[in-house]
Structure 1
Amino acid sequence: MARRFLRRATKTLVVILNLTIVVLFLLACLSPFLNTANWWMIGFTGLIVPYLIIGLIFFIIFWLIVKPKLALVSVAALLIGFQQVNVVFAWKPGPAVSERKREGLLRVISWNIQSFNGFTKDKKVRKLARTEVVESILKFEPDIVCLQEFNHKEGRDPESNNLSLFTKRYPYYHFSKDYVRDGGEYQSGCIIFSKYPIANTGKIKYPVAESLIYADILKGQDTIRVFTTHLQSFKFKEADYTDLEKIKDQDDEGLRASKNIVRKMRLAFKRRGVQAGIVRTELDKSPYASIICGDFNDVPNSYTYFHIKGTLQDAFLKKGFGIGRSFIALAPTLRIDYILAGPAFTVKMFDMVDEGLSDHIMLVSDLQLKK
């Protein structure tokens, strides 16, 4: 009798767990359609989609062994949410990046360089990281470089003049200068460097702090509009990472920590929802073949990603393999940096290069403009 009760209770708990994962996954499938500026809570489901997919696959295998009919629930959920599955994993491994690109291709690099800071507060080590970041980029001989969290300081100190590290090879650039202090000497933001002449530039400010910038680049007879941006982050500081550990450890202060973390995440979800709308509007207005690179601070299962991407090609999905983690903190599933190319391009190569110099991984892609 007791054994029968235990068996039924276990089966009931397993079914409830399976259905919970199904419901959460189906809610996450609504992410592309619900603007987080208004529906911020849906943003949390996007963060756990890879784990939900793994859970559904586990239950499919489990029920096929125990009771095959029940596997249909998880199978149906995955079929309904195929769009979500399709952006989490890339299945098309292309060639790894070589230091020399094929003639006729346009090589683009996008990288959040974390203000050239590396992983240290030691100023001497930072100076080394600064030159290593530049060398890591230049060795691939890109045509266009889009950097986020780029900083520069005017003045006599050559070790603070970061523009000069690039301008010998890339005489054309457009710098957002979103943050300026010290009487204008210190500047930081996003920047676009180009080997080719820039005919026109633009800057569209977001309601808070940062901006979207673009440069119209002249390559032969063609004009290419390149955008880059850094969208609202969660702005986690060291104390917040400590709070996350308290939550994991079920520390007594976990409730207070949870409230603080949720507050920051809610603000970021809402702001990115607004920013995604601004980016989409500018992409739609572009009269040229377009590319957008940047740190979106949001995963592929988010409203931010789907709204910005539209009909653009995700270079990682075209020529990548796996989950494509681009941010090395917090979780192994965070792909938040992107190179998206318009339909006028063919993606020939995509690679992620971890140089150990930033909390983000460098993205490299070779694109070919269709004739």
Structure 2
Amino acid sequence: MNAYVPPKIFPWFNLLSLGFPVLMTGYILLIIFWVFSWKKRAFVFMLAGLLFLTPIKRWINFSSEKKETGSKIKVVSFNTRAGTMGKDEVIHYLKSQDADVILLQEDGGMEYPALKDYNRTASNGVLSILTKHKLSNEKLIKSADEELPAALQADIEIKGKTYRFVNVYLYPFKFEKEMVRLNGNSDANEEKLKDIIKRLIPTFKKHQGQVDLIHENIESSPYPVIVTGDFNSVPNSYEYYHLSKGLEDAFLTAGRGSATSFHDYKFPLRIDYVFTTQSIKAISYVVDRSVSISDHYPVISELSLVEK
């Protein structure tokens, strides 16, 4: 329903999308219970479960190995949390990746002396794009009444062809761990849940305006588009459906295993993405869990570019 119903009209579908892993786990456990109880409804629910295969694959996927065709580039998308967990570590990591394009969220206006060979967009304290290639036409995407930009776009010329990169950072929920950590006190937990919902609903509605603005810019692009970033939204959400409209999810094409990218809470959350114009094919998609230098894991994707 999130593909059709905007949060400003009915935000509760978007709220349910946050609990999709729990809902699906409950669904599967019920089927198993009914199978062992010899209930005919188990088979009905098994067949109905086929409808959820693609939604499940947005969280956990096992794609086949892709063959490399034509020229390719390596793209890294990473919410660095402004280097608060180690600026030197962040810089060293980015340098070691030797990526063609690096798209950073919450970069805090950091300097990257080790990446002096990269061209970089102007610092705005939130979003940065760095590339080894020719960079032009950078533009912040934001509405007049918003303090933070919803996205940063720039055109990058690679091997004589121009591609538009859109680095997304939707408005954050601004939760602290203690705000979402439940304990044995039922009254306190009830108040926490109410406070969480009070924060979530207005943010969903704010996201709707940001998503519409970003989508307009994507639709008007004269070039093939690569969209990455921290969407602060899970798969199956309104934000996911509308920002991926007409694009391919690189994880669905080339990802393997879990796409969980935010690890600060002990709950599976995929909120970082790489989407591409359909003519650009993902060869690989990796959530790099080998480093914990932010509350997000870096997302790395190799893309096969359009050759004409």
TM-score, normalised relative to structure 1: 0.76
Question: 2:32 and 2:298 mapped to 1: Cα distance?
Answer: 36
Q: Distance in 2 between matches of 1:244 and 1:332?
A: 11
Report deviation, 1:256. 2.6
* Aligned counterpart, 1:264: 199
One-letter code aligned to 1:216: D
Q: CA deviation at 1:279?
A: 1.4
The answer as to whether partners of 2:254 and 2:285 remain within 8 angstroms in 1 is: yes
Mapped partners of 1:82, 1:274: distance in 2: 29
Moved over 6 A (4+): none
Specify which of 82, 86, 96 is matched with residue 115 of structure 1: 82
- In structure 2, C-alpha distance between the alignment counterparts of 1:346 and 1:143, rounded to whole Å: 16
Task: Note the residue ranges of structure 2 that are not aligned, 5 or more in a row.
Answer: none
Q: Does 1:50 align with 2:17?
A: no
Find the aligned partners of 1:174 and 1:274 in 2 and give their Cα distance: 24
Instruction: State the structure with more CA Rg.
Output: 1
Counterpart of 1:209 in structure 2 is 147
Aligned partner letter, 1:169: D
C-alpha distance in 1, partners of 2:123/2:228?
Answer: 14
CA contact (8 A) 1:309 1:340 kept: yes
Would you say the 8 A contact 2:142–2:210 is kept in 1?
Answer: no
TM-score of the pair, normalised by structure 2: 0.91
Q: Does 1:365 align with 2:305?
A: no
- After superposition, the C-alpha distances for 1:313-359 in whole angstroms (9 at most, x for unaligned) are 21122221223110002243200001111112111111111311000
- 1:219-258 matches, cutoff 5 A: 219-237=158-176, 241-245=177-181, 247-258=182-193
Query: Given the alignment of the two structures, is residue 71 of structure 1 paired with residue 42 of structure 2, yes or no?
Result: yes
- What CA distance in whole angstroms lies between the structure 1 residues aligned with 2:219 and 2:69? 30
1:151 maps onto 2:108 in alignment = yes
Aligned pairs for 1:302-313 (under 5 A) are 302-313=237-248
Following the alignment from structure 1 to structure 2, what is the Cα–Cα distance between the partners of residues 199 and 228?
Answer: 14
Which amino acid letter does the alignment assign opposite residue 212 of structure 2?
G
What amino acid is aligned across from residue 349 of structure 1 in structure 2? Answer: S
Structure 2 CA distance for partners of 1:331 and 1:285, relative to 1, 3 Å = farther
Q: Give the superposition deviation at 1:163.
A: 4.2
Q: Which residue identity does 1:321 align to in structure 2?
A: R
Find the counterpart in structure 2 of residue 26 from structure 1. none
1:324–1:335 Cα contact (<8 Å) kept: yes
Deviations 1:100-122 (A, max 9, x none): x999311100000000001xxxx
The aligned residue for residue 140 of structure 1 is 97
- Tell me by how many angstroms 1:228 deviates: 0.2
The alpha-carbon deviation at position 370 of structure 1 amounts to 2.7
Q: How many Å separate the matches in 1 of 2:185 and 2:212? A: 38
Task: Classify the secondary structure of the residue corresponding to 1:233.
Answer: coil
Task: Decide whether aligned partners of structure 1 residues 258 and 51 sit closer, same or farther in structure 2, where only a CA change above 3 A counts.
Answer: closer
Following superposition, the deviation at residue 258 of structure 1 comes to 2.4
Q: Which amino acid aligns with 1:311?
A: G
How far does the alpha carbon of each residue in 1:267-311 deviate from its partner, in whole angstroms, 9 at most, with x for none?
A: 211111221111111111111011011000010110100110012
The amino acid that maps onto 1:200 is: N
Partner Cα separation in structure 2 for residue 93 and residue 132 of structure 1: 33
Q: Is the contact made by 2:250 and 2:282 (CA closer than 8 Å) also made in structure 1? A: yes
Q: Which residue of 2 aligns with 1:62?
A: 33
CA contact (8 A) 1:114 1:358 kept: yes
Three-state SS of the structure 2 residue aligned to 1:39 is: coil
**Deviation for aligned residue 1:134:** 1.1
User: Within 2, Cα distance between the matches of 1:102 and 1:162?
Assistant: 35
How far off is 1:72 after superposition? 3.2
- Relative contact order, CA 8 A, sep 6+: which one is greater? 2
For residues 271 and 307 of structure 1, the distance between their equivalents in structure 2, rounded to whole angstroms, comes to 14
Q: Any gaps of 5 or more consecutive residues in structure 1?
A: 1-29, 96-100, 119-128, 153-160, 178-187
Give identity over the alignment, percent: 27
SS state of the match for residue 71, structure 2?
coil
1:176, distance to aligned residue in structure 2 (A): 5.7
Q: Deviations over 1:111-143 (max 9, x none)?
A: 00000001xxxxxxxxxx211111111112101
CA distance in structure 2 between the partners assigned to 1:57 and 1:50 by the alignment: 11
Q: In the alignment, does 2:252 pair up with 1:317?
A: yes
Aligned equivalents of 1:337, 1:311: Cα separation in 2: 18
